Amino acid sequence: MFLLDWFYGVLASLGLWQKEAKILFLGLDNSGKTTLLFMLKDERLVQHQPTQYPTSEELSIGNIKFKAFDLGGHQIARRVWKDYYAKLISLCLQVAIIFGYLSSSFGFVELSLDCNTKFLFLPCLVVRTSWNLDMLTEQVLTMFDWIAFIIPVDAVVYLVDAYDKERFAESKQELDALLADEALANVPFLVLGNKIDIPYAASEEELRYYLGLANFTTGKGKVNLEDSNVRPLEVFMCSIVRKMGYGEGFRWLSQYI
């Protein structure tokens, strides 16, 4: 009961109570994505190795669902960011191959189709002879993973290490690419300037300036953007290790999810 109250408290305080959301945590390596994910999950500070593979955490109690995807921020991981919000074509191929495998396994192709159509199913027949049951199971599981991933993204939380000024240009480049991507058009962006506990970390104004967001943020507090066709975008400064700042950011974000 205590645990339930606690979870309810954390999610309610972040404005995520009774919401079902898919949120991507993006940002350069070392910006604090995994630290934030686990802070939200366990309210504990844990030292993590750099994330090598995409991970997701789902907090679900009653009708609260909050699924966060941490895709890692190093160079190679960044290449798959796009995959995780636009895997539709690959998924269609995957479904076609599995359908082909199953239909050819049941003799459907041999029995009911004419010669020309059978030719189209040739790749499926090749797959059938080269796959075993384990491979099929693996493909089906992968397919379910992908289905989870292509469910449209509700929000992006983009983390920036506010102390690492030398990497602001690199971070801006990645952020610009995300903001320009059609697949994420109109998706709300919460930009978190993290690590403000470190002396000489950038101020909010500096960060807005270096990320080129000075004239693009849409306003803190309750701002109704429903009819304006403007993407909600705002910068909040935070320190995950001190548990400060990101709560306001999530509360702001929750009004657009």
Ligand X SMILES: Nc1nc2c(ncn2[C@@H]2O[C@H](COP(=O)(O)OP(=O)(O)OP(=O)(O)O)[C@@H](O)[C@H]2O)c(=O)[nH]1
Binding region for ligand X (CB under 6 A): 27, 29-35, 47-48, 50-51, 72-74, 194-195, 197-198, 239-241
Residue closer to ligand X, measured from CB, 16 or 240: 240
Nearest-angstrom CA–CA distance, 243 and 249: 12
For position 194 contacting Mg ion by CB under 5 A, the verdict is no
Nearest-angstrom CA–CA distance, 148 and 129: 29
Rounded to a whole number of angstroms, the minimum distance from the CB of residue 147 to ligand X is: 25
Whose structure tokens read 């991933």? 149
**In this structure, are residues 192 and 207 in contact, taking their beta carbons and an 8 Å threshold?**
no
Rounded to a whole number of angstroms, the minimum distance from the CB of residue 25 to ligand X is: 8
Phi, psi (5° rounding) for residue 184?
-115, 15
Applying CB under 5 A, which part among 50-58, 75-83, 98-106, 198-206 lies near Mg ion?
A: 50-58
Of these partners, ligand X, Mg ion, none, which one is at the site of residue 56 (CB under 5 to 8 Å by kind)? none
For position 239 contacting Mg ion by CB under 5 A, the verdict is no
Nearest-angstrom CA–CA distance, 56 and 70: 6
For position 51 contacting Mg ion by CB under 5 A, the verdict is yes
Rounded to a whole number of angstroms, the minimum distance from the CB of residue 162 to ligand X is: 9
What are the b/e assignments for 131-154, b being 16+ CB within 10 Å? beeeebeeeeeebeebeebbeebb
Rounded to a whole number of angstroms, the minimum distance from the CB of residue 49 to ligand X is: 7
Rounded to a whole number of angstroms, the minimum distance from the CB of residue 125 to ligand X is: 43
Q: Is 215 annotated as a binding residue?
A: no
Phi, psi (5° rounding) for residue 8?
-55, -45
Q: Is 196 annotated as a binding residue?
A: yes
How far apart, in Å, are the Cα atoms of 8 and each of 18, 166, 167, 249? 10, 39, 37, 18
Whose structure tokens read 């999810």? 257
Q: Is 98 annotated as a binding residue?
A: no
Among 31, 34, 194, 254, binds Mg ion (CB under 5 A): 34
**In this structure, are residues 36 and 25 in contact, taking their beta carbons and an 8 Å threshold?**
yes
**The one-letter amino acid at 180:** A
Residue closer to ligand X, measured from CB, 113 or 241: 241
Which residues are part of a known binding site?
29-30, 32-35, 194-197, 240-241
Indicate the annotated binding residues for GTP: 30, 32-35, 194-197, 240-241
Annotated binding site for Mg(2+): 29
